[in-house]
Amino acid sequence: MKKAAIIAVFAVQFLFSCSDMINDLREPSGPTPIDLVINIDGTASMSTKITAYRTGLNSLFDNLTAAAHDVRIAVMMFGYEPELIVDWTTDTAAVKATLLLINHNAPVAGVHGDHSATDDSGLETIRISFGSAVNNSFLRTNVGGSGPLEFRPTAKKKLFFLSDEASSCPYFTENRQPDQDPGEATALELADPASGWRIELSNTANTLAGLQVETYLFTDTTTINADLQYSNHAFQSQDADWSNFNHSATLQNLNNNGLDYCLQAQLLAANKLCRCVDIDDMDEANVITNVILQAVQEALVN
């Protein structure tokens, strides 16, 4: 019996040793793969923001090109029916080229349709991008293909959302709540927890939280109700150079200023990452370094 016990011990040790050897032979784990969705408000008012957001995003693309990375990018425009203008790609030069051609005042042949004059249904576009709306249709006129955006199972999902206005009523009637009429919500409607506008807001937050999406809101809080729906960058708790974002202090600031139900507050309350930046600041060096590039730092690790 003693001899058998000794043999059994050696057998277990041998198995553990073999397991360690197999692990040692495996390739070292690479950078964290990232699937980055960029939602861009296509309406005419965004024409004054295009220089800032191109600068910020191009800095991101240049860094991804220069570093070892595993980041796929998809770009969806909204205003009228949501439209995919860049399908999943790692070709950052191609994404930059598409952004250079965007026109917020007219359609561009081969790039995008006309998103200039209609309401911008930002919250609906977020849900459509991540496949959680009732109707998840979007145009693929210039990119081809069919079906929804497919995410890699092992990838970390991230969202860059760019808009200078409040979210309007969903484009598709199937995605509207019964009391959501065309146009934008009033402050009273957004303040009512039972209103369809608040339900849509919560549904969007639940989508992002449930899918573990890290969310970056580049918005203009000077427009009516945009802060009630998305957030207000003035209440972000961080250093002056946008570093050291403080999750809990930011949530407290939002709660203290009547924004406890905005998208950022709901995501922070669910312990998910969400940052808010003035869209006009997307070309500032500190925002580029400590927000935009920080968002994909995992993929920039060799």
Domain-wise residue ranges, the chain: 30-300
pLDDT above 90 as % of the chain: 78
Question: Going edge to edge, which strands form the sheet with 83-89?
Answer: 83-89, 71-78, 34-41, 156-162, 214-219, 274-278
Confidence of residue 80 (pLDDT cuts 50, 70, 90): confident
Rounded average pLDDT over 80-95: 95
pLDDT in tens, 15-68: 344 444 444 444 446 678 999 999 999 999 999 999 999 999 999 998 887 665
In the numeric block, which tokens belong to residue 146? Answer: 């069919």
Are the C-beta atoms of 261 and 204 separated by less than 8 Å? no
Q: What is the pLDDT of residue 108?
A: 96
CA-only gyration radius of the chain, Å: 22
Q: Are the C-beta atoms of 295 and 57 separated by less than 8 Å?
A: no
**Mean pLDDT estimate for the chain:** 89
Position 79 confidence tier, pLDDT thresholds 50, 70, 90: very high
Tell which wins on pLDDT, 152 or 12.
152
161 Cα distance to chain centroid: 6
Give the pLDDT score at 64: 84
Which tokens belong to 9? 């011990």
- With beta carbons less than 8 A apart as the criterion, state whether 158 and 295 touch: yes
3-state secondary structure 187-236: HHHHHCCCCHHHHHHHHHHHHHHHCCCEEEEEECCCCCCHHHHCCCHHHC
* CB-count burial class (<10 Å; 0-12, 13-18, 19+) for 222: exposed
The predicted structure's pLDDT at residue 29: 60
CATH class of 30-300: alpha beta
Assess whether pLDDT exceeds 60 at residue 302: no
What does the pLDDT read at residue 43?
95
pLDDT in tens, 170-189: 999 999 999 998 888 999 99
- CA 145 to each of CA 96, 100, 140, 207, 231: distance values in angstroms, whole numbers, following the listed order: 21, 23, 7, 24, 34
Three-state SS for 80? coil
pLDDT higher than threshold 70 for residue 4: no
User: Is residue 298's pLDDT more than 90?
Assistant: no
DSSP letter, residue 165 = S
State mean pLDDT over 256-278.
Answer: 97
Residue 218: the pLDDT is: 97
- Helix/strand/coil for 183: coil
